[in-house]
Amino acid sequence: MAQEHRNLFSGGRRRFTPWLLLAPGLGIYLLISVGPSLATAIYSFTDATGIRGLPISWVGLDNYDEFLLQGARSRDNIDALQRTLLFMAVVTVVQFGIGLVMALLVNQNLRGRMFFRTLFFVPVILGAVVQGLMWKLFLRPGGGPMDTLIGWFGLESQFLTGPSAFYWVIVVQIWANAGFTMVIFLAGLQSIPSELNEAAAVDGASGWQLFRNVTWPQLTPAVNTNFLLNIIGSLQAWILFLVLVGYRNGTQVLGYVVFAEGFGQTGNNTFRQGFAAAASIVLFLLVLVLGMTANFVVARRERKYLG
């Protein structure tokens, strides 16, 4: 809790120094982030295009109406919304699991653990563009590596041009970010006092019992951090869709809808920034509700395990 204290440095005319030095950071934050964020709500009630010179008029709830309640048009938006939720659920769970397994494995006394830690984190450094281009190549149909690999099991896929494109993007998303999840778990694992493990081992606990009774409860802060970060992160993630598949029917997620509608990337190339703003408010409400719920669950877990 930030308690207010008398500023020890204050005295005479220097009383304003902290404010003076705080002002640039705060001012830019308000101007660049908070202001535009709040203005999104206002835009969502207009028919703004983003083209200079075109009048902007107030359309009330029309954008929301079109987004949610207008038959086939809304069906596609609601599909995108559901797809966003599916994306979030799968990414959150699988990335969480893989990150945890990775962290447990590389936290052992194994030769080469440094190598593995470093390797799994590489995609985070490279960023979405390089990740996407790499996987476009790796998922090449007609004799690419993954095609060859699944061919050994008698499977085939059109990868990014086929009906499973959405799921391949999930694979790449998890691949790209599991290393980050791993690092947070690793930090959690290393902060567990070694006495606890030793005591359990002396008591003859099995590996699973050790994990269940010592590691997992002790890992609570890392678990919670990862849980929250994965949920919020995956709800807002869409850049890999842009790099890997583009704006294609049946694969859009909400974040991409906002960008495409606002900047002329949908099939009909019109600029509908008002509508895009409404879509981003819907996305925001989703993040808010799910984020808050997750936060609530996390807080309960923390009370349960850490008192």
Partner 1 sequence: MKQTVQKLWLLLVALALVAAACGSDSSSDDTASDDTSTETASTDDSSSDDAAADDDAAEASAGLEGTLRVMIHQNPPMVEWVEKFNADFEAANPGVSIDLSVIDAADLPTSNQTRLSASDVDVTTVTVTGFANPVQPYMTNVEPPYWQQLIEAGLLMDLSGQPFVDNYDDAAIAEGGSFDGGVYSLNLGRVSYSGMFVNHDLLAEVGVEVPTTWDELVGACDAVKGAGYECMTAGGADGWPIFVGAYGLLGSLYPDQQGLVEGLWTGDLAWDDEQGQKLFERYQIYANEMLEDQAAGLGHDAAIERYKAGDVAFAPTGNWQAGVLEPAADSDLTPAEFEWSYIPFPGSDNPEDNQILFGKYDQGWAVAADTPVPDLAMAYLAAFSEAETYNDFANTVNFLPTQPTATLDNTLGRSVAPLLQEGAFTVGYEQWFIGPDGAGQWANGGQGAMWFYNGDFDDAAAAAAQAQADLEAGLSS
Partner 2 sequence: MTVTEVLTAPVRDDGGSTARRRRTKLASYAILLAFAAFYIGPLLMLVSASFKTLPEFFRDPTGLPENLEANNYTEAWDLANFPGYMLNSLIYTVVATTLFVIMSVFVAFPIARGYVKGSRALLTLYVVALFLPPALIPQFQLILNFGDIPVLGDLFFSFWPEGSQQQGLFNTKTGYILLFLTNPIGLIILVNYIKSIPRELDESAVVDGCGYARFVFTILMPLIRPALATVIVIHAIGIWNELILATIYLTSDDNYPITRGLIVFEGVYGSDWPKLAAAVLMLMMPMLVLYLFLQRYIISGLTAGAIKG
Question: Total residues contacting partner 2 (rule CB under 8 A)?
Answer: 114
Task: Considering only residues 3 through 32, tell me which ones interact with partner 2, judged by CB under 8 A.
Answer: 3-5, 7-10, 14, 17-19, 21-22, 24-26, 28-29, 31-32
Per partner kind, with CB cut-offs from 5 to 8 A, the member of partner 2, partner 1, none near residue 246 is partner 1
Q: Which is nearer to partner 2, 8 or 72 (CB)?
A: 8
Q: Which is nearer to partner 1, 50 or 217 (CB)?
A: 50
Q: Which of 130, 124, 134 is nearest to 182 (CA)?
A: 124
Per partner kind, with CB cut-offs from 5 to 8 A, the member of partner 1, partner 2, none near residue 106 is partner 2
Q: Which is nearer to partner 2, 21 or 72 (CB)?
A: 21
Q: Which is nearer to partner 1, 159 or 238 (CB)?
A: 159
**Residue of the chain from 126, 150, 297, 299 that contacts partner 2 (CB under 8 A):** 126
Task: Considering only residues 268 through 297, tell me which ones interact with partner 2, judged by CB under 8 A.
Answer: 273, 276-277, 280-281, 283-284, 287-288, 291-292
Least distance to partner 1, CB of residue 166, Å: 11
Q: Which is nearer to partner 1, 2 or 20 (CB)?
A: 20
Per partner kind, with CB cut-offs from 5 to 8 A, the member of partner 1, partner 2, none near residue 153 is none
Least distance to partner 2, CB of residue 124, Å: 7
Residues at the interface with partner 1 (CB under 8 A) = 14, 17, 20-21, 49-54, 66, 70-73, 75-76, 140-144, 158-165, 246, 248-250, 263-265, 267-272
